Structure 1
């Protein structure tokens, strides 16, 4: 039986015996992971505050999924320590960590109903049948899947299967829920809807979610803490607005998107594309060149520009402003911005 007490579905989970009321639900201390001499994660340290939504964000191969699996206990660390609450769980098996993981492929048992899939982890822990099925119904109701309790996975849509997998991960009442690209298999409409569901559940349950994604929009929409990773390193960890407003490196600025990285007085600067304007070389131009692309996005229009120095940049302007003075690919143009909209970068 799980060591968590049962405060009710929407209550704050009580941590397992041995925990204290630590300010961080997860702490990584100089954690590294190597595979046959190849470094996948290189001496990263991170603190995830209590009951927060954290997104590990970065391109493929940056180490974010490896980091998640090390927190879960599915990958041993090569060096460093992992704490859940105030307990060092570096050498603990997954079941003894106070975490639960929702896998990218959902991994539902095809021969079981949704109800039995959700109840399975309690069955493994020896919880009596009536109790575990009652708990499973509570959690199916929590993810709005109660009416589909007796259906097997084959008769559920992708979004419904995801909800069942989420209920199964939550039923053990973890202190930390780990999610490995949980929305990647969904269509754009359902992905947006499920983002709202994940955030609702995290707030309602008041546990920490650690969510791996390569989608900047997903991280910005969900996270209290965005952790941008590259080549096994954490490049920046901060609230979403700080990441977007004040990226600290050229990599972060480019990966987050919506920024131009251009030479400044003492190094590179980042300027948000929506703070840039398209004009002529007579308009106190910061970058002169020609229009390379025009993308109509509805309320906004993205105008790409290639500078005379070969630098690629863009302006994101309202449709009203664009159509009042439209430009076309090949046309000479200049990019302008205000000094207060330029942000110095560390590299």
Structure 2
């Protein structure tokens, strides 16, 4: 057990027990319970206002919990200040000091703790090297690109050697190319350091690429938590299937089903299940083509197919078409309450 009471033989890095957050009469987080195993990359995902950022801030200690408990390494930290929780927070805005160079930005928290200058600079250079910015130590934040600033902020958070790193939409300000690069860096660092990252995002693609554990929230509650592939293959309900994307929600004789858009086909219906409609849009996406289908009295549907298959028998907006699927690709969903 260390000086803060944390035991090395903990079962979970983070455990939320019926955590609730109220702002006046508004319930932002509603009785959330979650266990995050050791050294996990966890993504909290959901639409705006679902409670994911409030949940992250309660883990960090930046929001007071209305009800419930937060445990880190089996220790109840609900009433502890942020500095005693063993967490570090990386904010969306990066919050770098514009008048300090990269080295001193990264070393700032060690300076505040009274670490001598040679030692804090040595450790800061080590962490700049971890994010491949060792040659930028003397530059000011204003002399860096957005992606470089993001990596400086990451090094500054990691230098405190946290047990848990908390990231609040860290990639949202980056362009798509940089977002992909930094995403790879985050996953690499998480694996190398062997600590849990809890990452709030509104991007389904980001969560799918990064997460070991993906937690989908809506209206302050968890709708489904699990590995990305499990959630994509077996969404718990229609909300999850629609939010995660890539699924058609259909009705058949047995009730409501979800079928992945890449498992659907366009063609002449045979004996199997099908829905007739009209082509609403065709989107070329390089290796694949997405065809949107408008259906009378129902939500829009889509088919995603390899580009060579589409161009072997292309369709145009306005044409009649039928969407077909195999019953083995249908995933049953609970009917709405």
Higher alpha-carbon deviation: 272-281 or 15-24: 15-24
Equivalent runs, 1:185-334 vs 2, <5 Å? 185-282=173-270, 284-334=272-322
1:150 corresponds to: 138
**Aligned mates of 2:4, 2:180 — CA distance in 1:** 34
1:118 corresponds to: 106
- Select 1:346's aligned residue among 330, 334, 337: 334
1:337 corresponds to: 325
- Contact residue 272 and residue 326 of structure 2 kept, 8 A: no
Across the two proteins, how many residue pairs are aligned to each other? 335
**Aligned mates of 1:313, 1:36 — CA distance in 2:** 40
Matched position secondary structure for 1:82: strand
Matched position secondary structure for 1:116: helix
Matched position secondary structure for 2:249: strand
Please report how far the alpha carbon of residue 268 of structure 1 lies from its aligned counterpart in structure 2 after TM superposition: 1.3
- Contact residue 283 and residue 336 of structure 1 kept, 8 A: no
Please report how far the alpha carbon of residue 19 of structure 1 lies from its aligned counterpart in structure 2 after TM superposition: 2.3
- Contact residue 5 and residue 75 of structure 2 kept, 8 A: no
TM-score scaled by structure 1?
Answer: 0.94
1:8 corresponds to: none
Higher alpha-carbon deviation: 54-63 or 264-273: 264-273
**Aligned mates of 1:298, 1:82 — CA distance in 2:** 45
Matched position secondary structure for 1:62: coil
1:12 corresponds to: none
Q: In the TM superposition, what whole-angstrom CA distance separates every residue of 1:216-240 from its partner, at most 9, and x where no partner exists? A: 1000000000000011010000001
2:79 corresponds to: 91
TM-score scaled by structure 2?
Answer: 0.97
CA RMSD of the aligned region, Å? 1.4
Is residue 137 of structure 2 the alignment partner of residue 163 of structure 1? no
- Contact residue 41 and residue 233 of structure 1 kept, 8 A: yes
- Select 2:116's aligned residue among 128, 134, 137: 128
Please report how far the alpha carbon of residue 162 of structure 1 lies from its aligned counterpart in structure 2 after TM superposition: 0.5
